[in-house]
Structure 1
Amino acid sequence: MKVPFNDLTWQWRHIEDGVKSDFDRVFASSQFSSGSFVDAFERQIAEWLNVPHAIGVNSGTSALHLALLAGNIGSGDEVLLPAHTFIGSAWGILYVGAVPVFCDVDERTGTIDIAAARQLVTPRTRAIIPVHLYGQPANMDAVVSFARDHNLKVIEDAAQSIGATWNGRSTGTMGDLGCISFYPGKNLGAAGEAGLIVTSDDNYAGRLRSLRNHAQTERYVHAELGFNYRMDGLQAVVLKHKLPLLSTWTKRRNELALRYIASLGGLPLEIPSIRHQTHCWHLFVIRTHSRNALRDALSKSGIETGLHYPVPLHRQPCLSAYVKPGATYPVADKWADEGLSLPLFDGMTDEQFDYVVKAVTAFYQ
């Protein structure tokens, strides 16, 4: 049997007819960049997230960049973020001329360790970016309390966590600004690149809508440095058809994740921990000292796996200048060196699931 890490064709089969019909409408109206299809999706997802403003952009990375700009984070400002995350979490900080300050992460969840963050606050600290890693919400009670104590902006990186909640609120909606990625492999993925910024602040929303469209306040009038970060109409159509199915797809991911936890619990490896919140299981990441050997064994059995993320931020060559002398990140290093992502996707069959469990069990036996 072959088990892919993900199978996006399964989602396509559920939306194909409706999307093709709407594609015809996009081409007939020529509303390829922004326009009514993007507007409609923004209204739809704002309602779904229960937030006043949803601003579509062309990627999750662009969303983080614009969110930092809207939060008035700039040259020399320090921004706290976890050391273990995708590098896109750091790019926006560098784009605005700010300084990334890496924090170690929680042993159980891999999300930002607020105790570590407290030791790194300086008079130049202006913001914190909690990353809801692998679909697991960061501890937003601790993040918001910490930010309030130090007068920091909270910019949530919810790139992987649409469908997850903290105390009943969707990730991305609890900070000053929240950023979501619709990269094709995400739980809600476009057919290319797309992203979203959400906020409850009218002023932030107005500036973000301007910044994404060359900073126009009116046509051909540009108030500041702007960017060509608009969402395109075709991506909005794909997302519009997928969004009503997301809750059902998330339920299936939860079923599979809980079955993995029950099936692998007796093996000598670390299985994901779940806070008493709603996890959306973008990824199912186990940890083991035998990571590379297990990955090779599963590959030989026809099972694709993933590494998320084997090189943490403090070990990235392009970020070495921001690592303070003597700084260590032992927990982030452990996640990076031991983490292995097993296949988990909406259309995964019970037969595929059982095959993966059997192969992992056989490796340890």
Structure 2
Amino acid sequence: MDDLSRVTEKFEFEDIDVLCEKKFSLLTSKISGYEPVIDFDSLDSKQSWRGANNSTFPLSFFNSKKFNFDRRYEPRREWLPFRALLYANIDSEINYLKFDYIGQVSVKLDNRYTGFGLPDSYLDKTSFILELPNNIESIKVDYRFNKVPPILWDSTLQVGYPEDPYAKLVIFGSTNGNDWSLLKNKTGPTLIFAYYLFIFNCLGLFVFTLYKKLRHISLSHFYHASFLLFLFLLHRNIDLLRELPVIGVIDISTLFLLFIAIIYFILLRKNLNNYSLLIFCYLINLLLVDYPWAKLDSYIRPGGSDSLTYESQARLIMLGDRLRGGEDIFFYSPGYRYVLNILHVFFGEKWMVAWYSL
């Protein structure tokens, strides 16, 4: 929820009020989303100053022009305050909950009127263990990140500012208070059946397609699959690739990837497949992106930018503005807002996903 954050007073904006902020992929849901575990943290502790752009909290709703702050000493957009209400059905065997958090947390058990308020923590990570009464079936967590005084935008302090840790909420469960694991939302039998039915259908379709293609597999198919699998494994172990040395201005990891690309094109120059080539170039591109951009996604767009305007218009379309697209008379490129909306629906909230999709 964005009700803790102030809105701009220097720019005009349009907004559609909703009880819970919406995701592009969950238009018909009354809630913002579903999470199998509560594990919201900074992706890289060294980049904590980037705020929401370094966090697993889903905060794309800040890409609205009502939060268009771009003046010195106005609120910094990546550090705007927010509130999250989280609900979970818990297993009857869970007797203890542990909260690792930065911010403000309160907990209610089985929708009771009273709950537990945990100590506020903004300067350091805090852990709090809660012993549950018997027969507790659900919890409601009210999380707030609202630093006082707020973090302000300053054009002279961009890298490494602020030094404070950003929002965090990770919930663990335990049966004995000693062995901890991430608390999982209790899954009903209908959802479990639907999940396994989906997996079975996917595997069946894959096996059927493979059976039909077995008679037509050539050496080039094997080369395509091998190169793509190798690049995928490199991407999953990208930290090992970055350990290769840099000699002067020569980056050995970049040369290694270029060597792979040359071998790929030499071996398959007569049998290039459009789909395989597209995936190959996509994976090579991901591996060539420098740190920290390969790990972080700067999807909270800067204030005063056209990109924030388009993101805001795409969100208005998603929230019900439809063909109007956020304005009666188009002052910006009319088509891009609709393209961006569709990309977010199919590929997710983050900016980098939409960019690579384009």
Question: What interval of TM-score do these two structures reach, taking the shorter chain for normalisation?
Answer: under 0.3
Q: Which has the larger radius of gyration?
A: 2
- Between structures 1 and 2, the one with greater helix share: 1
TM-score (norm 2): 0.24
TM-score by length of 1: 0.24
